[in-house]
Copies of this chain bind each other. A is one copy, B any other.
Amino acid sequence: MKVTINDVAKLAGVSMKTVSRVINKEPSVRKKTYDQVMQAVKELNYQPNIAARNLAGTSSFAIGLVYDNPNAYYVIDMQNGVLSRCRDEGYELVIHPCESNSENMAEEFVTMIKRSRLAGLVLTPPLSEQQAIIDMLDELGIHYVRLLSGRAQEAESSANNCIFVDDYAAAYEITEHLIQLGHNKIAFVLGDEEHKSTAERLAGYRDALKAHDIKQDDTLLYHGTYSFESGVKGAKALLADGNPNQITAILGGNDEVAAGALFAARLMNIEIPGQLSISGFEDSPFSRQTWPKLTTAHQANNIISEHAARLLFSKTRGHRKNDKEVSHVFTPSMVVRESTGRVTQ
């Protein structure tokens, strides 16, 4: 019933240590030996015991995914991306949702790391942006990869453990798309202030306006959060009193915000996109389930997170030279659907 490394060793006629070498893809095992061992592994359907490996080895066979994000679609995508890499590598994934502003977060964090002796961590925003956390991890000597909002040039000068999503470029593109449709009163319902993505997206928006000589008007900015409710509130606020600013388009901080704006527009009997264009950000399944479907910027979270895991593993394990360079910047690309249209007057 229970097959140990010892059984395999006996069957293959080698020592346990050699089997261990094969399992761990260590170099300096003769091809012939390797084959013998693999043969035995298959024959016995041997599965290495993770607990024993964790205990005996220097680093454990588990990585953690840390997030503080209410967006279920985002989280699931992240999980699945990391998970698929973990399966390939024979690692376990320990998920760690948390609240970044809670008192004992840091403590819980350390508890988890100590308990599981994690080989590394994938940090998602906004936690990946908190210097205090980064410092703590450095101090503890924990490997980690950060998912961050940032631009291509930033990526080059950055430490080698970051994955960037170029929100700036994406926001620029979306804004330009709206401008090309004839909009010049474009409002923006921003996400959480403390998220770097909020600043990046705002910067992209601003620069696009500037590039097209459209005057900036901060009364068109609504400072909200990355939530549906915030989208509703923001749109209501912006369009209140008969839309004094003559807004013709609203950029949502993300798809949920955009959906919220859509909801508000409906309440106010505003036609989308006839009277008002709305765009999202992220391309979560969400954006295909609103009416009308959202124009948005596609961000492949599952692929991004898979890359993050890949990068983490490349630092963690035997530093195999073949997968040397891992790409570090992802730029969301625009998806035009039905929520944006040419401006009419």
Taken residue by residue from 261 to 301, chain A's Cβ proximity to chain B (1 for < 8 Å, 0 otherwise) reads as 01100110000000000000000010011010000000000
Q: Does A260 contact B (CB under 8 A)?
A: yes
Q: Which residue among A51, A80, A95, A262 has the maximum number of chain B CB atoms within 10 Å of its CB?
A: A51
Q: Does A54 contact B (CB under 8 A)?
A: yes
Q: Is the CB of B115 within 8 A of A47?
A: yes
**How many angstroms between the C-alpha atoms of A13 and B262 in the bound complex?**
66
Please give, as numbers and ranges, the residues of chain B lying within 8 Å of A47 by CB-CB distance: 111, 114-115
Question: Which secondary structure dominates chain A's binding surface?
Answer: helix
Q: Does A60 contact B (CB under 8 A)?
A: yes
Q: Does A117 contact B (CB under 8 A)?
A: yes
Given contacts A72-B75, A83-B95, A97-B80, contact A50 B263 (CB under 8 A): no
**How many angstroms between the C-alpha atoms of A90 and B108 in the bound complex?**
12
Please give, as numbers and ranges, the residues of chain B lying within 8 Å of A60 by CB-CB distance: 51
Please give me the residue from chain B that is nearest to A292 by CB atom. Answer: B266
**How many angstroms between the C-alpha atoms of A80 and B49 in the bound complex?**
27
Please give, as numbers and ranges, the residues of chain B lying within 8 Å of A52 by CB-CB distance: 51, 55
Q: Is the CB of A266 within 8 A of B289?
A: no
Q: Does A334 contact B (CB under 8 A)?
A: no
**How many angstroms between the C-alpha atoms of A76 and B288 in the bound complex?**
20
- One of B50, B97, B256, B266 near A83 (C-beta < 8 A): B97
Q: Does A116 contact B (CB under 8 A)?
A: yes
Q: Does A106 contact B (CB under 8 A)?
A: no
Please give me the residue from chain B that is nearest to A52 by CB atom. Answer: B55
Q: Is the CB of A115 within 8 A of B48?
A: yes
**How many angstroms between the C-alpha atoms of A151 and B288 in the bound complex?**
35
Given contacts A73-B72, A83-B95, contact A117 B291 (CB under 8 A): no
Please give, as numbers and ranges, the residues of chain B lying within 8 Å of A97 by CB-CB distance: 79-80, 83
Please give me the residue from chain B that is nearest to A71 by CB atom. Answer: B72
A interface vs B, CB < 8 Å? Answer: 47-52, 54-55, 60, 72-73, 75-76, 79-80, 83, 90, 92-95, 97, 111, 114-117, 228, 256, 259-260, 262-263, 266-267, 285, 288-289, 291
13 contacts between A and B (CB under 8 A): A50-B117, A51-B51, A51-B60, A52-B55, A72-B72, A72-B75, A72-B285, A83-B97, A92-B92, A93-B94, A93-B95, A256-B289, A267-B291
Using A50-B54, A55-B55, A72-B73 as known contacts, list a sample of 7 further A-B pairs with CB atoms less than 8 Å apart, ordered by residue number in A.
A49-B115, A50-B116, A51-B116, A72-B72, A83-B97, A92-B92, A263-B291
